[in-house]
Structure 1
């Protein structure tokens, strides 16, 4: 290392530190899109609206009764609280790792690539666990239920692949103070 300058490896180490915050932001924001769009606006499902819940020992709560809607609304609230904590944690980590060049970071392909990876991972994990393993709800319960669930997973995989390609091909963003020789 040359005194007063930084090696390429040092810049890459600092740039790589935005991966986890970006993934957490993406997972939280992806959860918000799911919860707001699918749970609230379209009302396609809520957290415990699948009849498959009985096979894992969870009671079925249909959304077409007042009690069922109350229980599902409460569980949707817990879901939103978790997604909010993911976003808050991602922002806190990102803020703690960025000591200068914040403007460049928010417009960087690196960060938004990692956010897309996080959103895709949310879709894949939530889709596999909730829709297929636990069966507590499905994207949409109708004659095409399986296709909706598969489409959700395909969207997740496309988001991961697109995000990975976006951040992988981007120039590193310097996010911390340059290292100096001691």
Structure 2
């Protein structure tokens, strides 16, 4: 069940990262769409699919977590560590692959991108590091009690 706790957290983390990106950067700030290389209609449709994917990941992760809770088998450090890994991994994938490799969109347009890229990707790395530290601590704690 430890692996399921981790997976539940990863799914929630991916979903939250996508939801925050969509709500804040796409809808509130209007900095970009998921796909900016076409018409505004294509951008809006791509945002809709991205939003649906984000919510699907959150719902799947929460169902897994609820099942683990019902069985009294969840590992809180693994869920939280997984959520940080999911969030950081998604953020880094988005920042490197979507933004730079595929050029689907940039964080913002009409500005110097380096500070935005650094902030985006360093935040992702911080999430990955924090999640890894939590998971390593959980593993050590579990090894001592076994």
Superposition TM-score, scaled by structure 1 size: 0.68
Distance 1:17 1:88 in 2: 15
Aligned to 1:33: 20
Q: Does 1:150 align with 2:118?
A: yes
The alignment partner of 2:70 has SS state of coil
Q: CA deviation at 1:162?
A: 0.8
Aligned to 1:3: none
Q: Which has the larger radius of gyration?
A: 1
Q: CA deviation at 1:93?
A: 2.6
Name segments (4+ residues, structure 1) moved above 4 Å. Answer: none
Distance 1:40 1:168 in 2: 37
Unaligned stretches of 5+ in structure 1? 1-13, 50-59, 62-67, 173-182
Aligned to 2:84: 116
Q: CA deviation at 1:30?
A: 0.7
Aligned to 2:96: 128
Aligned to 2:50: 79
Distance 1:42 1:168 in 2: 37
Q: Does 1:47 align with 2:34?
A: yes
Larger helix fraction of residues: 2
